[in-house]
Structure 1
Amino acid sequence: MRIAVCDDDETAVSFLRGLIESYPKQGLCVDGYSSGEELLGAGRIYDMIFLDIDMKGIDGIETARRIRAHDRKVKIVYVTSYKEYAGRAFSVHAFGYLLKPVKQEKVWKQVEDAMLWQEEAPEVKQVEFTTAEGLVRLSVDAIYYFEYQNRRIFIKTKDAIHEMRGKISDIAGKMAQYGFSVPHKSFVVNLYHVKNIRGYEILMMNGEWIPLSQKQAVQFKEKLSLYLADKMR
Structure 2
Amino acid sequence: MLSIAICDDDRKDTDKLETLVNGYMSQSPFSYDIKKYCSGEELLESSETFDLLFLDIALGGMNGIEVGTKIRESNRGLKIIYTTSYKQFCKQAVNRAHAFAYLVKPVTKDKIDRQLDEILSCIQEEHEDKETVAFEIMEITDKGELESRIKDFEVDDIFYFEYFNRKIKIKLEKEEYFFKDKMKDLADKMQLHNFETCHQCFLVNLRHVKKIKGYEVFLNNNDIIPVSQKRSAEFRKKLNTFIQNSI
TM-score, structure 1 length as denominator? 0.63
Check the 8 A contact 1:65/1:92 in 2, yes or no. Answer: no
Q: Secondary structure at the match of 2:187?
A: helix
Q: For residue 174 of structure 1, report the CA deviation from its aligned partner.
A: 1.0
What amino acid maps onto 2:136 in structure 1? T
Q: Secondary structure at the match of 2:197?
A: strand
Q: CA 1:168–1:110 in 2, change beyond 3 Å: closer, same or farther?
A: same
Give the distance between the partners of 1:181 and 1:97, measured in 2 at CA. Answer: 31
What amino acid maps onto 1:72 in structure 2? F
Q: Secondary structure at the match of 1:188?
A: strand
1:211 to 2:192 alignment: no
Q: For residue 121 of structure 1, report the CA deviation from its aligned partner.
A: 4.0
Structural RMSD (CA): 4.3
* Corresponding position of 1:27: none
1:90 to 2:73 alignment: yes
* Corresponding position of 1:120: 125
Q: CA 1:76–1:85 in 2, change beyond 3 Å: closer, same or farther?
A: closer
What amino acid maps onto 1:157 in structure 2? L
Residues 181-214 of structure 1, C-alpha deviations (whole Å, 9 max, x = no match): 1111111001122222221011122222100111
Check the 8 A contact 2:8/2:55 in 1, yes or no. Answer: no
Q: CA 1:138–1:86 in 2, change beyond 3 Å: closer, same or farther?
A: same
Q: For residue 58 of structure 1, report the CA deviation from its aligned partner.
A: 6.0
User: Which of 153, 164, 173 pairs up with 1:138?
Assistant: 153
Aligned residues: 194
Give the distance between the partners of 1:143 and 1:73, measured in 2 at CA. Answer: 17
Give the distance between the partners of 2:54 and 2:246, measured in 1 at CA. Answer: 12
Give the distance between the partners of 1:6 and 1:84, measured in 2 at CA. Answer: 10
Q: For residue 103 of structure 1, report the CA deviation from its aligned partner.
A: 3.0
Check the 8 A contact 2:163/2:201 in 1, yes or no. Answer: yes
Gaps of 5+ in 1: 11-30, 48-56
User: Which of 89, 96, 100 pairs up with 1:101?
Assistant: 89
Q: For residue 64 of structure 1, report the CA deviation from its aligned partner.
A: 5.0
Gaps of 5+ in 2: 31-36, 58-62, 83-87, 102-114, 139-147
1:110 to 2:113 alignment: no
Give the distance between the partners of 1:220 and 1:145, measured in 2 at CA. Answer: 14
**Greater CA deviation, 82-91 or 124-133?**
82-91
* Corresponding position of 1:63: 43
Give the distance between the partners of 1:155 and 1:229, measured in 2 at CA. Answer: 27
* Corresponding position of 2:197: 182
TM-score, structure 2 length as denominator? 0.60
Check the 8 A contact 2:68/2:80 in 1, yes or no. Answer: no
Residues 135-166 of structure 1, C-alpha deviations (whole Å, 9 max, x = no match): 11111122111111232211112232221111
